[in-house]
């Protein structure tokens, strides 16, 4: 009996450490269109470990960019601010991240090639079996 309880405790402790992988879909929200579409499509996976989110690429196994989610009373339930994400050599402004069925939706403002003008994106992260 004690061995079973120990095994269950160990399994549940390990389960909390297992990363969750999501596939990414990038949707341009800017009415005038978005730049950097081809580069962003290469960032196609999201790995979540506790409050840390890691953007990954199945094309470039060395690519990894992370951010941390933090709660805020100014956001609806199930939503957080995502801080610390950098793309194309620039740190992005905090971004709204919300939990949805099977994953997350993330609103990003990404600098264009001329960093004075950004493109608005919706990034849909869904469990790999759902895409």
Split at pLDDT 50, 70, 90, the class of 9 is very low
- Map residue 130 onto helix, strand or coil: coil
Confidence of residue 95 (pLDDT cuts 50, 70, 90): very high
Q: Does the pLDDT of residue 8 top 80, yes or no? A: no
SS3 111: strand
Using alpha carbons only, how large is the chain's radius of gyration in Å? 17
pLDDT higher than threshold 50 for residue 4: no
Assign 59 a pLDDT band (cuts: 50, 70, 90). Answer: very high
pTM over 0.85: no
51: helix, strand or coil: coil
Nearest 5°: the CA angle 122, 51, 62 is 70
Whether pLDDT at 44 is above 70: yes
CB 26 within 8 A of CB 41: yes
| pLDDT at residue 129 is higher than 80 | no
Q: Does residue 130 carry a pLDDT above 80?
A: no
Question: Does 61 or 4 have the greater pLDDT score?
Answer: 61
Return the SS3 of 40.
Answer: helix
Domain range annotation of the chain: 19-127
Report which of 52, 51, 57 is spatially closest to residue 23, judged by C-alpha positions: 57
């Amino acid at each position: 009996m004690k061995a079973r309880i120990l095994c269950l405790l160990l399994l549940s402790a390990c389960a909390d450490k297992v990363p969750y992988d999501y596939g990414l879909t990038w949707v341009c929200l800017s009415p005038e269109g978005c730049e950097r579409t081809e580069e962003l499509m290469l960032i196609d996976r999201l790995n979540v470990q506790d409050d840390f989110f890691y953007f990954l690429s199945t094309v470039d196994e060395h690519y990894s960019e992370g951010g941390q989610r933090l709660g805020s009373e100014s956001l609806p339930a199930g939503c957080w601010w995502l801080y610390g994400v950098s793309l194309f050599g620039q740190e992005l402004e905090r971004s709204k991240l919300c939990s949805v069925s099977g994953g997350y939706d993330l609103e990003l403002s990404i600098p264009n090639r001329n960093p004075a003008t950004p493109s608005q994106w919706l990034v849909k992260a869904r469990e790999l079996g759902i895409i």
